[in-house]
Amino acid sequence: MPDRGFRTITVTDQIYEKVKQRAKKESKSVATFASQALEIMLFVEEKFSNYVPYLEIVSVDKDEVIIKDNKVDRVVAIKAKSSDNGKVRFYCDLDDTDYCPHTAFAAALPQVRNAIRR
């Protein structure tokens, strides 16, 4: 039986193990971590869904993502920087901010997260 306020969902064993490892790393329960991850993903999708079709990856390395923004016909550099709490923050050179469609797009890409972990 799930905790009060939680519902059960089914995921593959592979996804469950990844969620379990990440939850442990962040000292959270699997249910809490999964809920927070889904909430973030849904928020980003909702806020930037009209913009994402215009973005494409040019290149990815350990601390920088290059994105082509076809809406404004520009190439955008997104830099990965460590914040005080040890997490990675993304900074957009075009928008001069750490929160824009470009940073959200970069942060949502599995290949970007994999490159940063290396």
Mean residue pLDDT across the chain? 85
User: Are residues 43 and 66 part of one domain?
Assistant: no
What per-residue confidence (pLDDT) applies to 2? Answer: 66
112-to-47, 59, 73 alpha-carbon distances in Å: 20, 10, 22
Six token digits for residue 24: 């442990």
Tell me the mean pLDDT in the region 4-12: 87
Has residue 2 been placed in a domain? no
Beta-carbon contacts of residue 16 (< 8 Å; ≥ 6 apart): 30
| Residues 76 and 67 sit within 8 Å (Cβ to Cβ) | yes
The structural domain count of the chain equals 2
Structural domain range at position 36? 13-48
Has residue 58 been placed in a domain? yes
User: pLDDT tens for residues 59-114?
Assistant: 988 789 999 999 999 999 999 887 777 778 899 999 999 889 899 888 888 777 77
